[in-house]
Structure 1
Amino acid sequence: MIHFSKILKLARKLADMVLRGKRIERTDIEGDFFSDEDKDYVIAHLSDPAKIEAQNKLAKEIHKTRNKDWQKVEAAIRPPVKKVRYLHVWTRVAAVFIGFIAIGYFFFRDHLPGGPAPGDGVKEQHITLRLPDGSIKILEEAENGDIRDRNGKIVGIRRGSSINYRKEGHAGNTTAPEYHEIQIPFGKTFELVLSDGTTVTLNAGSSLKYPVHFTGKRDRQVFLEGEAYFDVEKNPKQPFVVETDGINVQVLGTRFVINSYKEESRIRTVLLEGSVALFEKGEAYDPEKAARLIPGQKATWNKTQKDISFEEVDTGLYTGWMEGRLIFNHVPFNEILRRLERYYDITIVNKNKALDKEVFTASFEGESIENILNSFGRNYPFEYTVQGDNIVINP
């Protein structure tokens, strides 16, 4: 029998991932009581914006009757006794529970100190900023204002889809750094100007952890998951280091792009200007051993094999996303779909597995997702169905 506590634990985890704009994979849905079909159902269900209103209504109701919370939740998800196909019904109901309860209740109750109260109605995935005390600030796109530290001191200026932390005459603070972590959901991009003047543009589905101020006694280090363009302010005395899930990239002053999404098997670094050195995460930087890139080169790190390869590239192919362009140059279809999901904030389930390894070259700007899929379909015919923000490519 499936334990109620396991479903609650899973609900907390998935709710946190959804509202932080993180992509949910099958491997994130733990437990042998979920089949692959049921996992796909859960993922599609959590991505359905039509469920948001119901989530908010239920969250508000639960908030009003907190003393009976657990009884309500348990009653809502317990399957009827003597029901045919017991396990199948249970997992379907569990999926509804995760979508309706977890986002509306667990996230607001436990994860947003100082944030919106349950029932206030977060109706889309927002850019969020985790502060040093662990609280989460939701960043409205049309909002301007100040970013303050725990003492009320202004540390950054918010202007729409950017935050500027830069201080004139920055010389490196000597106190211990405090970190902010920004999460960018699918369908959005964001720009940061760090305290040293370095500019970072974050692509959809990415996150960056960075100091509010850099200290003068250590490297300028930030932590990236996803894709970002860096224009690093030069400082020979204090190298800039980007840590990813596999490699570190160290620079003095340069412009480059890193693609390091969790679900991808490779980390790609493309250098536009200057020089960068790459070395494996967890190792100390050794200038004699670190791999170096020159402008116009791409380095690809294989996470599994732990090796690196280099090639000359057209750097414009890797920066087009900052101008709203989708560019695919000999890219497998399964990777194209992941990029389309991030760009359009949608869920695509491909049941036509013969398509996965087909390679395409194409460029789009301002096109609807239907037009893009139709364009690929003219070269390799396939059919698909659209239900809201969920697309299924048929076998």
Structure 2
Amino acid sequence: MEIKNIGQLLDKVRSGKSSAEEQVLLEAWLHQYNMEGPTGLSDEDFLNARANMLHAINQARLHPVKRTRLWYRLAGIAAAVILMVFGAGLYYYINHKPEFKDGAGYSNDVSPGRQGATLTLANGKTIRLTDAVSGEIAKEAGISVTKTADGQLIYEMKSPMEQESKQAYNTLTTSRGESYILILPDRSKVWLNAASSLTYPANLGEQKTRKVRLEGEAYFEISKNKEQPFKVESRGQEVEVLGTHFNINSYADERTVTTSLLEGSVKVIAEKNMNALLLKPGQQSRLSGNAELDLMPNVDVEEAVAWKKGYFQFNGEDLHAVMRQLTRWYNVEVDMVNMPHKEFYGAIRRDVKLSQVLKMLELTGKINFKIEVENSQGYERRKIMIR
């Protein structure tokens, strides 16, 4: 695949002569182009990239001023297609043929994560939602738990709960390689990312203070109710809300706990010293391991919720941070020995196989990956080797 400029790649896709690799490359370029300003292609449209590809290309061709500004940025990268880079903040693809290794390096490919979770009821019973059929899957103390045809979990109050059951808690858990959508008893909606769990009262809607416990990462759309404030406990902090949209990343292997606000307002409180921050839309709080709570006043909150929209988005993340995301979504291990220091900028879809993601990362320069299989006590596990 030898592409001299982005126009050639656009033409190949329009004519139906592009390879799978070229389509992945163009999708990444379109996302970067879209971030430069309005092009008629929303993030949601982008996530349906194949269905909307021709529309996106036509929009790009109808805006020569925007293309000029983009190509001005490319002046120092002669005859290259913009895609991904580390360090410099531009996305590029060198004009010689990339060395996509389809041999042994990717013979042990891994499929992307999927919708799935495990529900643990108050009585200790566990239900694998991936295997459960649609319809009512549980009923306890006046609460009906239903799995919808599109894989969401919905709680409904059918009758008043008995007094002894009012402290009954349920836990929704996703393993690595899984995500799930939950509609809580108070009609709040939660998107649970991979390797995460949410614990909540089965009668959450009847609680004076609606309080849940998060481990990992989740995006919340909270039903507004001034009489019943909503609180999220996570690693070292508590978030107080009335009605709002926000994301919390509290994975134990991340350096900080981040709370990103998209709509409304939230109050973030550090549990250790009770320091507090009031966030406005477009702001983010970061809680460090020593309980320092910092305000990031102007951040790209869309980056924080990229996972919910179906893609990885990197904005200066180092290789360790990138690999942590891949281990959770693809349920693989990574060889962390002698990992080079590189920074990555770009967006990659989460619905592609692991090899496609690794190929995109390889385009950034002198780094190569290999997927190996390790056997331990009769159990096979994929591992990413960095070369």
- Local SS of the residue matching 1:312: coil
- Contact kept in structure 2, 1:301 and 1:309, CA below 8 Å: no
* Structure 2 match to 1:369: 354
- Local SS of the residue matching 1:165: strand
Mark the CA change 1:340 to 1:183 in structure 2 (over 3 Å): closer, same or farther: same
Which of 338, 350, 354 in structure 1 is aligned with 2:324? 338
Structure 1 stretch displaced more, 343-352 or 184-193: 343-352
- Following superposition, the deviation at residue 176 of structure 1 comes to 2.4
Tell me the TM-score normalized by structure 1.
0.61
Partners of 2:287 and 2:372 lie apart in 1 by 37
1:263 maps onto 2:250 in alignment: no
Q: For residues 138-176 of structure 1, give each alpha carbon's deviation from its aligned partner in whole angstroms, at most 9, with x where no partner exists.
A: 22256213243456x5521112521111449x9999762
- Following superposition, the deviation at residue 294 of structure 1 comes to 0.2
Partners of 1:227 and 1:281 lie apart in 2 by 18
Q: How many residues are treated as equivalent by the alignment? A: 267
Q: Which amino acid aligns with 2:368?
A: E
Partners of 2:247 and 2:386 lie apart in 1 by 35
* Structure 2 match to 1:277: 267
Mark the CA change 1:144 to 1:240 in structure 2 (over 3 Å): closer, same or farther: same
- Following superposition, the deviation at residue 186 of structure 1 comes to 1.6
* Structure 2 match to 1:360: 344
* Structure 2 match to 1:45: none
Mark the CA change 1:197 to 1:282 in structure 2 (over 3 Å): closer, same or farther: farther
- Following superposition, the deviation at residue 315 of structure 1 comes to 2.1
Q: Which amino acid aligns with 2:219?
A: Y
1:231 maps onto 2:221 in alignment: yes
- Contact kept in structure 2, 1:173 and 1:216, CA below 8 Å: no
- Contact kept in structure 1, 2:276 and 2:293, CA below 8 Å: no
- Contact kept in structure 2, 1:173 and 1:214, CA below 8 Å: no
* Structure 2 match to 1:214: 204
- Local SS of the residue matching 1:329: strand
Greater RCO, 1 or 2 (C-alpha within 8 Å, sep 6+): 2
Partners of 2:207 and 2:371 lie apart in 1 by 54
1:158 maps onto 2:147 in alignment: yes
- Contact kept in structure 1, 2:143 and 2:157, CA below 8 Å: no
Give the gaps of 5 or more residues in structure 2: 1-107, 374-380
- Contact kept in structure 2, 1:256 and 1:270, CA below 8 Å: yes
- Contact kept in structure 2, 1:224 and 1:244, CA below 8 Å: yes
- CA RMSD, 1 decimal: 3.0
- Contact kept in structure 2, 1:220 and 1:240, CA below 8 Å: yes
- Local SS of the residue matching 2:204: coil
- Contact kept in structure 1, 2:317 and 2:343, CA below 8 Å: yes
Report % sequence identity.
Answer: 29
* Structure 2 match to 1:197: 187
- Following superposition, the deviation at residue 379 of structure 1 comes to 2.2
Q: For residues 293-348 of structure 1, give each alpha carbon's deviation from its aligned partner in whole angstroms, at most 9, with x where no partner exists.
A: 00011111112353323231222212221222111111111011010111222222
Higher helix fraction: Structure 1 or Structure 2?
Answer: 1
- Following superposition, the deviation at residue 251 of structure 1 comes to 0.2
- Following superposition, the deviation at residue 359 of structure 1 comes to 1.5
- Contact kept in structure 2, 1:382 and 1:393, CA below 8 Å: no
Partners of 1:167 and 1:149 lie apart in 2 by 10
Tell me the TM-score normalized by structure 2.
0.62
- Following superposition, the deviation at residue 195 of structure 1 comes to 0.9
- Following superposition, the deviation at residue 207 of structure 1 comes to 0.5
Which of 103, 128, 134 in structure 2 is aligned with 1:138? 128
- Local SS of the residue matching 2:186: coil
Partners of 2:335 and 2:305 lie apart in 1 by 27
1:184 maps onto 2:206 in alignment: no
Higher strand fraction: Structure 1 or Structure 2?
Answer: 2
* Structure 2 match to 1:56: none
- Following superposition, the deviation at residue 266 of structure 1 comes to 0.7
- Following superposition, the deviation at residue 125 of structure 1 comes to 11
Partners of 1:132 and 1:49 lie apart in 2 by 38
Equivalent positions of 1:65-144 (< 5 A) are 127-140=117-130, 143-144=133-134
Q: For residues 124-148 of structure 1, give each alpha carbon's deviation from its aligned partner in whole angstroms, at most 9, with x where no partner exists.
A: 9962111112232222256213243
Equivalent positions of 1:38-77 (< 5 A) are none
- Contact kept in structure 2, 1:146 and 1:157, CA below 8 Å: yes
- Local SS of the residue matching 1:196: coil
Structure 1 stretch displaced more, 289-298 or 133-142: 133-142
- Contact kept in structure 1, 2:115 and 2:130, CA below 8 Å: no
- Contact kept in structure 1, 2:143 and 2:203, CA below 8 Å: no
Mark the CA change 1:371 to 1:182 in structure 2 (over 3 Å): closer, same or farther: same
- Following superposition, the deviation at residue 393 of structure 1 comes to 2.4
- Following superposition, the deviation at residue 376 of structure 1 comes to 2.0
Mark the CA change 1:172 to 1:233 in structure 2 (over 3 Å): closer, same or farther: farther
